[in-house]
Amino acid sequence: MEWSSLTILIGKGTSLLCNQNIMKKHSSIYISIVCCILFAVIYTPNMYAQTNKEKLKVKQLLQSEYFEHLYSRTYYSLVDRMDSDGYLPESLTRAYPAMFPRTTGPFVFMLMETNKLQEAEQTIDFVLKAIDANEMERIPRIIGKNNKGYTIVDDQHQIDGQAHVILAWARLAVKRGNTKFEDRTWKQMRALMRRTCDRTCFQYGNDKEPTRPCLVKNVDFEHSRDGRAWDTWDLLTQSFVGASLEEMIKIAERRGDKDVAEDWKKKLDILKKGISRQLVIERFGKPTYLEMLQQTPNGREPLYGMGWVCLSPIAAGWEAMDRQVMVNTVDVMEKLYLKKSHGVIWMPTDGYTQGRFSNEMIGKGIGWEIDFANTEKRYGRIVEILEMIEKVNANNPIYMEGAWLEGNNIRINKQITDEDLLDKMETSVWKVKDAGNGEQTAWWCWAMARLRKAVDLSALPKRIKNQKN
CA distances from 19 to 24, 62, 215 (A): 9, 51, 53
Q: What's the rounded mean pLDDT across residues 316-328?
A: 97
Residue 465 banded pLDDT, cuts 50, 70, 90: confident
d(CA 387, CA 461): 20
What is the distance in angstroms between the CA of the first residue and the CA of the last residue of the chain?
Answer: 43
Helix axis angle, 438-454 to 27-62, nearest 10°: 120
CA of residue 345 relative to chain centroid, distance: 20
Categorize the per-residue pLDDT at 408 as very low, low, confident or very high, splitting at 50, 70 and 90: confident
Q: What is the pLDDT of residues 134-190, one digit of tens each?
A: 999 999 999 999 998 999 999 999 999 999 999 999 999 999 999 999 999 999 999
Res 5 pLDDT > 60? no
| Dist. CA 18–CA 265, nearest whole Å | 50
Give the percent of the chain with pLDDT over 70: 88
Q: 425 and 405 in contact (C-beta within 8 Å)?
A: yes
Rounded Cα gap, residues 123 and 143, in angstroms: 12
The Cα-based distances of 54 to 2, 74, 76, 130 in angstroms read 17, 25, 28, 46
CA pair distance 232, 213, nearest whole angstrom = 11
SS3 per-residue string spanning the chain: CCHHHHHHHHHHHHHHHCCHHHHHHCHHHHHHHHHHHHHHHHHHHHHHHHHHHHHHHHHHHHCCHHHHHHHHHHHHHHHHHCCCCCCCCCCCCCCCCCECHHHHHHHHHHHHHCCCHHHHHHHHHHHHHHHHHCCCCCCCCEEEEECCEEEEEECCCCHHHHHHHHHHHHHHHHHHCCCHHHHHHHHHHHHHHHHHCCCCCEECCCCCCCCCCCEECEEEEEECHHHEEEEEEEHHHHHHHHHHHHHHHHHHHHCCCHHHHHHHHHHHHHHHHHHHHHCEEEECCEEEECCEEEEECCEEEEECCCEHHHHHHHHHCCCCCCHHHHHHHHHHHHHHHCEEECCEEECCCEECCCCCEECEEEHHHHHHHHHHHHHCCCHHHHHHHHHHHHHHCCCCCCCCCEEEEEECCECCCCEECHHHHHHHCCCCEEEEECCCCHHHHHHHHHHHHHHHHHCCCCCCCCCCCCCCC
Instruction: Report pLDDT digits (tens) over 199-219.
Output: 999 999 876 666 789 999 999
Other C-beta atoms closer than 10 Å to the C-beta of 152 total 16
- Alpha-carbon distance of 40 to 6, in angstroms, equals 7
pLDDT digits over 427-459, tens only? 899 999 999 999 999 999 999 999 999 999 999
* CA 406 – CA 299 distance, rounded (Å): 37
Least confident of 52-66, 240-254, 273-287, 453-467: 453-467
Rounded distance between C-alpha atoms, residue 360 and residue 441, angstroms: 16
Cα distances from 426 to residues 338, 360, 431, in angstroms, run 18, 16, 15
Tell me which amino acid residue 246 is: E
Query: Does 157 or 4 have the greater pLDDT score?
Result: 157
Q: Chain-wide mean pLDDT for the chain?
A: 92
Q: What is the dotted CATH code of the domain comprising 63-454?
A: 1.50.10.10
Looking from the CA of 82 toward its CB, the CA atoms found within 13 Å total 26
Q: Say how far apart CA 10 and CA 216 lie, in whole Å.
A: 48
pLDDT value at position 19?
A: 59
Return d(Cα 195, Cα 290) in angstroms, integer: 26
Nearest in space to 364 (alpha carbons), one of 326, 403, 397: 403
Q: How confident is the model at residue 3 (pLDDT cuts 50, 70, 90)?
A: very low
Question: Could you tell me the residue ranges of all domains in the chain?
Answer: 1-56, 63-454
104/95 Cα distance (integer angstroms): 18
d(CA 284, CA 336): 11
How many Å separate Cα 262 from the centre of its chain?
Answer: 28
Would you state the torsion angle of the CA atoms of residues 435, 436, 440, 445, taken in this order, to the nearest 10 degrees?
120
- Amino acid identity of residue 78, one-letter, is L
